[in-house]
A and B are shown apart, each in its own frame.
Chain A
Amino acid sequence: MCQFCRDYGEGKKWYLQPKNYSEERYKEVGAKDKIVHHVEHFEEDMTTGLGFSEKLRLTDPVTFQEMLPMMQEQQRKMMWGQIILLQEAEQILDMAVKVFRLPCLCRSMRLGRSDCMYEFGFFMFESKDKPYEGYPGYSDHSSVITKDEAKKLLREFEEEGMIHTVWTFCTPYIVSICNCTAADCVPVKIRAQSGMPSVCKGEYVGRIDLDKCTGCRECIKTCNFGCIAYSTTLKKCYIDEYKCTGCGLCYSRCPENAVVLTDRNTMPELAGMW
Chain B
Amino acid sequence: MVGVEFNENKCKSPLECRKCLEVCGHGVLLTYPRSNRNHSRDAKDWVIQPTLISRCVGCFRCQEVCPLNAINISPGLSVEELPPPTQGFLKRLREFWRQLRVTIRTLVQ
Contacts and interface: CB of A to CB of B under 8 A. Distances in A.
Answer whether A and B are interacting partners: yes
Interface of A: 40-41, 43-44, 46-52, 54-55, 57-59, 70, 73-74, 77, 109-114, 134, 136-137, 183, 186, 189-190, 193-194
A49 B30 CA distance: 12
A109 B31 contact: yes
Given A58-B82, A109-B32, A114-B41, A51 B51 contact: yes
Given A44-B33, A112-B15, A52 B96 contact: yes
Given A52-B96, A183-B25, 10 more contacts: A41-B35, A44-B34, A58-B1, A58-B82, A77-B103, A109-B32, A111-B18, A136-B33, A189-B26, A189-B27
B76 interface: no
B59 interface: no
B32 A54 contact: no
A134 B39 contact: yes
Contacts of B26: 189, 193
B93 interface: yes
Nearest to A42: B32
Contacts, number: 91
B108 interface: no
B95 A48 contact: yes
Interface string B1-40: 1000000000000110010011001110011111101011
In this complex, the interface size class of chain B, counting residues with CB under 8 Å from chain A, is 35 or more
A74 B54 CA distance: 22
A189 B22 CA distance: 15
Contact of B41 (A46, A52, A109, A137): A137
Contacts of A111: 18, 21-22
Contacts of B35: 41, 44
Residue among B30, B31, B85, B103 facing the most chain A CB atoms (10 A cut-off): B30
A50 B103 contact: no
Given A47-B32, A52-B93, A111-B18, A136 B53 contact: no
B67 to A, nearest CB: 16
A136 B39 contact: yes
Contacts of B53: 54-55, 58
Nearest to A134: B39
Contacts of A114: 41
